Amino acid sequence: MLVAFCTLFLAGWNGGSTGAMIPYIERNYNISYARVSVLFVSTFIGYVTAAAATGPLVRRVGFGNTLLIAMVVELIGNVINCSQRKSFNFMCFGFFVVGSAFATQLGLFNSYFARLNKPLLWTGCLHGIYGLGAFASPQVATAMLIRGVPYNVFYTTNVGMNVPLFGLVWLAFGKLKALPINPAEASVHGSVLRETLKSKAVWTLAVFLMLYVGAEESIGGWIVSYLIEVRHGDPQGASWVASGMYLGLAVGRIVLPPVNMLLGERNSVFIYVALAIMLQCLAWRVPTFNSTAICTALIGLTISTFYSATIAMGGKLIPKSMHADAFSLISAVGQSGSAFWPLIVGVMSTKTGIWVVEPTVLALLGAQGACWWLVPRVDRRVQ
């Protein structure tokens, strides 16, 4: 579990820094909101690639070897991102490479954690560590950028973490061929991937996760630009707001799972969605920097356990023999929201202004509540 925590910390470190760096990337390449949003599209293509490739790759080379391949691919992407700032297209390719690696890692770790006792608790910790990485990186990136350090230099920190992590993953998972299943769980007929694609539970959870991750990353990706232009804040203060949202995510994912186990995954999500919608309305309609900052951090706290609730629910609804494919698909489709919705915000912002961030997030929160209503009720783990 420690190795998985470290890997997700790096993923959060990489993902959380993007919002703080977007204004500097725009300035470096002299591009618009819509053009810089191609970074999110590149990441989305990486997620789709991972969704299609992870399950077959696990069956061909094994669980551990697939993780090791993903670590090498991630290292290549980070080297690309830190090595140049002349070609925006090449930077987009780097985001594609890192996105495909991250989605692969996430899908495999989700399937691993879904099999543990108290999956809601441990998956919450896993994604809480992601939040800690995303909390720290905007501050480090901003501290470097305001001192005139080129944005691409930040990615050398990713490379520095990537190399020892490869060794840790090799030690922890290198010999693991497949996650264990019992004979009763091996009775899925036909192609595992085909059965996964036909599963209503898989697609409902995947769409919910896409909406959730889209809301989270639309805030994380654009809140700095929004606060600078709409609330007239300074870059360092705005980056603290982004960090505050990710800190709320990290704290909630570690602290709230015991509460959620008492309430039940289903009920807790409905309660938190309602709270998040109220906070988002305040962040949008009260036109001050401080109110937006406080509400944004609290939104991070309220939505923090949605990811772990999804994985825990999937562990109960989806046969274990389908977990590698199902969780890869759920994770990849879910993470595609981190590319698709920030892209939509970027395109709309180019046409109408960056103010669209807040109402878009509000709409995504409402859609999450509606989608969660469609998730089947379950009282026991499906075999």
Q: What is the pLDDT of residues 114-153, one digit of tens each?
A: 777 777 678 778 878 888 888 888 889 988 998 899 999 9
Exposed, middle or buried by CB within 10 Å (0-12, 13-18, 19+), for 188? middle
Question: For the residues 66-85, what does the mean pLDDT come to?
Answer: 94
Here the tokens at position 131 are 């939040």
Exposed, middle or buried by CB within 10 Å (0-12, 13-18, 19+), for 199? buried
Please work out, in degrees rounded to the nearest 5, the angle formed at the alpha carbon of residue 268 by the alpha carbons of 255 and 295.
65
Q: Which element (helix H / strand E) includes 370? A: helix 357-373
Q: What is the CATH number of domain 2-373?
A: 1.20.1250.20
Where residue 211 falls among pLDDT bands split at 50, 70, 90?
very high
- Distance from C-alpha of 211 to C-alpha of 361, rounded to nearest angstrom: 9
Question: For the residues 37-65, what does the mean pLDDT come to?
Answer: 85
Q: Which of 375, 367, 236, 267 is nearest to 311 (CA)?
A: 375
Q: Which of 196, 185, 243 is nearest to 219 (CA)?
A: 243
* Integer CA distances (angstroms), 299 to 49, 125, 277, 378, in order: 31, 18, 8, 27
Letter string b/e over residues 355-365, b meaning 16 or more CB atoms within 10 A of that residue's CB: ebbbebbbebb
Please state, for a pLDDT cut of 90, what percent of the chain lies above it: 30
Q: Which of 291, 235, 211 is nearest to 22 (CA)?
A: 235
- Distance from C-alpha of 23 to C-alpha of 36, rounded to nearest angstrom: 9
The DSSP letter of residue 186 is: G
Q: Read off the pLDDT of residues 4-24 as tens digits, 9 standing for 90 and up.
A: 999 999 988 998 888 888 889
Overall pTM surpassing 0.75 (yes/no): no
CB within 8 Å of 369: residues ≥ 6 apart:
269, 270, 273, 274, 277
User: Does the pLDDT at position 190 exceed 60?
Assistant: no
Please state, for a pLDDT cut of 70, what percent of the chain lies above it: 94
Summary mean pLDDT of the chain: 85
CB within 8 Å of 211: residues ≥ 6 apart:
337, 364, 367, 368, 371
User: Does the pLDDT at position 183 exceed 70?
Assistant: no
CB 54 within 8 A of CB 333: no
CB 254 within 8 A of CB 124: yes
The DSSP letter of residue 322 is: G
Instruction: Look at residue 324 in the predicted model and tell me its pLDDT.
Output: 67
Q: Read off the pLDDT of residues 254-295 as tens digits, 9 standing for 90 and up.
A: 888 888 878 887 889 999 999 999 999 998 988 888 888 899
Instruction: Look at residue 334 in the predicted model and tell me its pLDDT.
Output: 82
User: Does the pLDDT at position 382 exceed 50?
Assistant: no
- Distance from C-alpha of 131 to C-alpha of 71, rounded to nearest angstrom: 20
Query: How many beta carbons lie within 10 A of that of residue 311, not counting itself?
Result: 27
